[in-house]
Amino acid sequence: MSTWSLAEVLAGLHDDLERRLATARKSLAHPVTKGDASEEVWLNTLKTYLPQRYQAEKAHVVDSNGTFSEQIDIVVFDRQYSPFIFKFQGQSIVPAESVYAVFEAKQTINAGYVEYAQKKAATVRGLHRTSLSIPHAGGTFPPKPLPPILAGILTLESDWKPPLGQLLADALKSSPEERLDLGCVAAHGVFTGDESGSYSIAPQEKAATAFLLELIARLQSSATVPMIDTRAYARWLTR
């Protein structure tokens, strides 16, 4: 019989991520360098553990009207059906139709950073997304409804006492465009929300693993991204 323990494997994932976040916070003095290192820890974790149909990058998101989002720390997007991902001057640019989720990564969570993440989410959700009919052997399927774009915030610590109390619940209240659907405070726990604006905030010893499994579950339940109208983007070639 195998001596492997699933509980230990899942706990190890969290312990590794929390250790790397803590090292970035303690070892790096410059705030920008420290923030970049934290982003990289979360980004590498998603790149490692998300199914390969998904890709994660720091990126701007663009729509076929030529409107760009602000730069997003982590964009989770489709790579199997996305026809193009731009790389320009070391920056990634992802078409709006390809996006499944967006996250901001910070050292700590507080009201200011929650609002910041909410505003960033709105710059992506406000973009125009196309959806074409899908041809098949017997004809065509109608255009897919646009799936909701998930949004959230990822941190190591919390500035609040208690870390996941009423102050967090109050900060999460927002408009639908700015709603944060899920988040992780690695040292303390996770929060999840629904489209009605209701939240569950739960202390969790292995928060990073709990967050990752919840994110994968939500991605699984989300429809595949719509069939992008590439000609809508091609119009910009003549301008």
Summarised one tens digit per residue, pLDDT across range 196-210 is 889 999 999 999 999
For residue range 58-76, list pLDDT tens digits in order: 999 999 999 999 999 999 9
Mean pLDDT of 37-43: 90
- One of 57, 63, 97, 106 is an active-site residue; which one? 106
CA distances from 149 to 39, 175, 177 (A): 20, 14, 10
In a domain, 159, yes or no: yes
In a domain, 201, yes or no: yes
In a domain, 101, yes or no: yes
In a domain, 148, yes or no: yes
Range of the domain at 29: 6-177+196-238
In a domain, 34, yes or no: yes
Return the pLDDT at 105.
96
Annotated catalytic, 104?
Answer: yes
Q: Which residues contact 81 (CB under 8 A, 6 or more apart)?
A: 98, 224, 225, 227
Annotated catalytic, 115?
Answer: no
pLDDT bucket at 1, cuts 50 / 70 / 90: low
Q: Where are the beta strands (DSSP E) in the chain?
A: 54-62, 72-78, 86-88, 91-95, 99-105, 108-109, 134-136, 139-141, 150-155, 157-158, 182-185, 189-193, 199-203
For residue range 146-164, list pLDDT tens digits in order: 899 999 999 999 999 999 9
Mean pLDDT of 114-120: 98
pLDDT higher than 90, residue 24:
no
In a domain, 191, yes or no: no
- One of 63, 73, 78, 178 is an active-site residue; which one? 73
In a domain, 218, yes or no: yes
Return the pLDDT at 30.
53
Annotated catalytic, 170?
Answer: no
Are the beta carbons of 182 and 211 closer than 8 angstroms?
yes
Q: Which of 21-30, 136-145, 214-223 has the highest mean pLDDT?
A: 214-223
Return the pLDDT at 16.
87
In a domain, 17, yes or no: yes
- Number of structural domains in the chain: 1
